[in-house]
Amino acid sequence: MQPFTKHTGLVAPLDRANVDTDQIIPKQFLKRIERTGFGEFLFYDWRSDPDFVLNEPRYKGASILVAGKNFGCGSSREHAPWALGEFGFRAIVAPSFADIFANNCFKNGMLPIALTTEQVEEIMSRAQQHKGYELTVDLERQTIEDSRGLSILFVVSEFQRYCLLEGLDDIGLTLRHEDLIREYEASHR
């Protein structure tokens, strides 16, 4: 898995709450058997509207998405972070995330960052006001900063932070404890 340590990138503000995974990647694109090929279909229905924020030239190449609460709700499809990642996003900032989606992000080297509503609103507003607005996400120091004096400390679980920094393979980690798995199986026949 690609590690995440520090990333500076253009911010795209998606000022909507409860963005569900059907919007992120609609069902007709779930028929692929590969892990790739989803990026071009990100927000497929919303992007068909020329006025949709991600269609604006100023957000082309954005790698940090800022959105409203409960981002990624609905279906468990991991195709959602696959699509976001392939499209170019490396981190998502929102007041809250749906559980399964957030978990899926970590499995794909993508960082979901939960901040307060006020903090998200501030970032959203700065991204909308200032063309070319960028943020630097530092997972080591757990900070989000911009060039205009914003500096926020964010919370992330110690273990997930460690795995993301090291780009660790989850399955490999679990198999380190194979003896315990066998022990469990033996005592639960």
Partner 1 sequence: MPTLFDKLWQSHVVREARGEPTLLYIDLHLIHEVTSPQAFDGLRQAGRKVRRPDLTFGTVDHNVPTTDRSLPIADAIAANQIETLRRNCNEFGVQLYDINSPEQGIVHVIGPELGLTRPGMTIVCGDSHTSTHGAFGALAFGIGTSEVEHVLATQCLPQNKPLTMKVETHGALPEGVTAKDLALGIIGTIGTDGATGCVIEYAGEAVRSLSMEGRMTLCNMSIEAGARAGMIAPDETTFAYLKGRRFSPDSDEAIGYWRTLRSDDDAQFDRVVEIDAAQLEPFVTWGTSPGMVVPVTSCVPDPADEAAERALKYMALEPRTNIQAITIDRAFIGSCTNARIEDLRAAARVVKGYRINSSVSAMVVPGSQEVKRAAEREGLDRIFHEAGFEWREAGCSMCLGMNEDILQPGERCASTSNRNFEGRQGRGGRTHLVSPMMAAAAAIKGHFTDVRTWQFK
Which spans of this chain sit near partner 1 (rule: CB under 8 A)? 16-18, 20, 22-23, 26-28, 30-35, 45, 69-70, 73-79, 96, 98-100, 103-104, 107-108, 157-159, 170-171, 173-175, 177-178, 180-181, 183-185, 188
The distance of closest approach from Cβ of residue 174 to partner 1 in the complex, given in angstroms and rounded to an integer, is: 5
Question: What is the signed CA dihedral for 48, 41, 66, 99, rounded to 10 degrees?
Answer: 130
User: For the stretch 57-91, what's the b/e string if a residue is b when 16 or more beta carbons lie within 10 angstroms of its beta carbon?
Assistant: eebeebbbbbbbbbbbbbbebbbbbbbbbbbbbbb
Rounded CA-CA distance 18/1 in Å is 28
Q: Tell me the two tokens of residue 142.
A: 């757990």
To the nearest whole angstrom, how small is the minimum distance from the Cβ of residue 178 to partner 1? 8
Nearer to partner 1, 33 or 155 (CB): 33
Question: CB of residue 127 vs partner 1: minimum separation in angstroms?
Answer: 18
Task: Please give the sequence-ordered ranges of beta strands (E in DSSP) within the chain, or none if there are none.
Answer: 6-14, 64-67, 91-94, 111-114, 134-138, 143-145, 151-153
Using the minimum distance from each CB to partner 1, give the nearer residue, 5 or 159: 159
Nearer to partner 1 among residue 27 and residue 130 (C-beta): 27
Tell me the closest approach of the beta carbon of residue 159 to partner 1, in angstroms. 5
Q: Kindly tell me which of 24 and 62 has the beta carbon lying closer to partner 1.
A: 24
Between 5 and 162, CB nearer to partner 1 = 162
Min CB(139)–partner 1 separation in Å: 17
The candidate with the shortest Cα–Cα distance to 82, out of 110, 59, 63, is 110
